[in-house]
Amino acid sequence: MDIGNQVVRVLRRNLYQAIQTRHLNEAQALLDQLKQEDPLSLETRGFELDYLIATLQWSDAETMADQLLRLFPQSARIQYLAGRVYYRAKKYSQALQCFNESKNIHRHWRTLRWLGKTQTQLGQLTEAEATLVGVASEHATLNLDLAWLYERMNQPTRALNFIETFLSKHPDDEFANAQRLRLRAQVQEPEMLSEDVEMLLELDEEVPIEMLPAYLQNLLESGQGKLARQFVMKHQEQFSEQTAASLGWICHRLQAYDLATNLFIQGLAKRTNDVKYLSALESAARHCQRIEELIEHYEMKAPNEKRLYGRMKQLQKRIG
C-alpha cells in the first residue's frame, strides 16, 4: 500500500470528523496538512469550502464556490456545498440549481433537505412538500423543515404536528420548543389566547415572545387597533430586532402602517441588505407620511451601508 495515499486517506477521514464535530482548530491544522499532501484534488478543494462554511467565512466561501463549480461541475459534493453558500447569500435560484444538480448526480437526504428548504424559500411549496415528505420519516430534523413549510402553507395545525414529532425524539431542543409555543398560540382560540396574554400582563409576568405574533394579529383582525397600539408602545423596547421585524410584517399585512413603520425601523439594523424588507418599510412609511423620518434613519446607517444612498435619493424625489 502506498504510504502517501494512506496518509491522505487518514487525513481526509480525520478532517471530515473534525468538521462534523465542530472541532475547528483541529480541522484547520488537518486541512493545512492535507493541502501539503494533496493540494489540487477535488476532495481537498471540497474540504476547503466545507471548512469555510463551518467557520462562517461566507464571502470567501462564495468566491470559492464559484471557482469550484467551474472546475468540478460533476461533483455532487461541490454542487451541494455551493448550494449551501448560495442559500446563505439568499441567492435561492442558484442554490436550487446546485441542489438539483447534486441530487441528480448522487441522491442524499441532506441534499434533499436543502432542496426542500430552498423550494420553500422560493414559494414552490407543493414541490417542497414532495421533496421533504419522502425522507422525513428517516431523519427527524426534516420535521422542523416540514413544520416551517406547512406554516408557510397556512396550515399551523399540521405544522404543530411535525414539531411534536420532532420533540418526541429531541425533547430538550430549545428552538423546537419555542416553535411549538408559537404554533400553539396560532391554533389556540383567539379569545383564549387573549385571556392568557392579558392575565400574564396583569400579573406583570413576561409574555413569551412566541405568543406575541398571534396575539397582535388577533387584536388587529378583531378591530382592536387602539389596544394593539397601546400594547406595542408599552412593550416595544423589550422586543429584539428579530421580534420587532416579525411583528412588523404582521402589521404591514394588516395595514397597520404606523405600527409597521415603528417595528420595521427597530428591526432595520441587520436587514439593510434585504430588499423586500426595505421595500415594505418604505411602503409603510409612505402610507403614514413618515418618509422624512425614514430618510433620517437611512442617513445614519448609509455610511456603512452604501446602497442606502440610492434608496434615500428615490425617497427624496417622492417628497419633492
Give me the CATH number covering residue 301. Answer: 1.25.40
pLDDT at position 32, please?
86
pLDDT in tens, 103-133: 999 999 999 999 999 999 999 999 999 999 9
Look at the chain and report how many structural domains it folds into.
1
pLDDT class for 49, splitting at 50, 70, 90? very high
Query: Is 59 within a domain?
Result: no
pLDDT for 2 beyond 70:
no
pLDDT class for 82, splitting at 50, 70, 90? very high
Listed residue (194, 197, 203, 244) closest to 223, CA to CA? 194
Distance CA 68, CA 285 (A): 44
306 CB-near residues (< 8 Å, 6+ apart):
none
- 4-13, 128-137, 249-258, 286-295: range with lowest mean pLDDT: 4-13
Query: Is 285 within a domain?
Result: yes
Buried b (16+ CB within 10 A) or exposed e, 115-151: bbbbbbbeebeebbbebbeebbeeebbbbbbbbbbbb
pLDDT for 283 beyond 60:
yes
pLDDT for 1 beyond 50:
no
Instruction: Kindly state the average pLDDT of the residues 199-213.
Output: 68
pLDDT at position 132, please?
94
Instruction: Kindly state the average pLDDT of the residues 225-244.
Output: 85
One-letter amino acid of 92: Y
Instruction: Kindly state the average pLDDT of the residues 203-231.
Output: 79
Find where cell 477521514 sits.
Answer: 13
pLDDT class for 177, splitting at 50, 70, 90? confident
In angstroms, the Cα distances linking 171 to 26, 141, 221 are: 31, 13, 34
Grid coordinates representing 176? 423546537
On the CB side of 95, how many CA atoms lie within 13 Å of its CA? 23
Query: Is 260 within a domain?
Result: yes
297 CB-near residues (< 8 Å, 6+ apart):
265, 268
DSSP 41: S
According to DSSP H, which parts of the chain are helical? 3-20, 24-37, 42-54, 58-71, 76-88, 92-105, 109-121, 125-136, 142-152, 156-169, 174-187, 190-202, 212-221, 225-235, 241-253, 257-266, 275-287, 291-301, 307-318
Interior angle at CA 173, CA 207 and CA 199, nearest 5: 15
Query: Is 291 within a domain?
Result: yes
Instruction: Kindly state the average pLDDT of the residues 36-59.
Output: 91
Q: Quick check: 31 and 14 in contact, CB under 8 A?
A: no
Domain coverage including residue 231: 205-318
Instruction: Kindly state the average pLDDT of the residues 163-184.
Output: 86
- Predicted TM-score (pTM) of the model is 0.68
Q: Quick check: 295 and 312 in contact, CB under 8 A?
A: yes
Query: Is 71 within a domain?
Result: no
141 CB-near residues (< 8 Å, 6+ apart):
113, 166
pLDDT in tens, 242-256: 889 989 999 999 999
Average pLDDT in the chain: 87
Query: Is 196 within a domain?
Result: no
Query: Is 142 within a domain?
Result: no
Query: Is 131 within a domain?
Result: no
- 155-169, 186-200, 233-247, 248-262: range with lowest mean pLDDT: 186-200
pLDDT for 205 beyond 70:
no
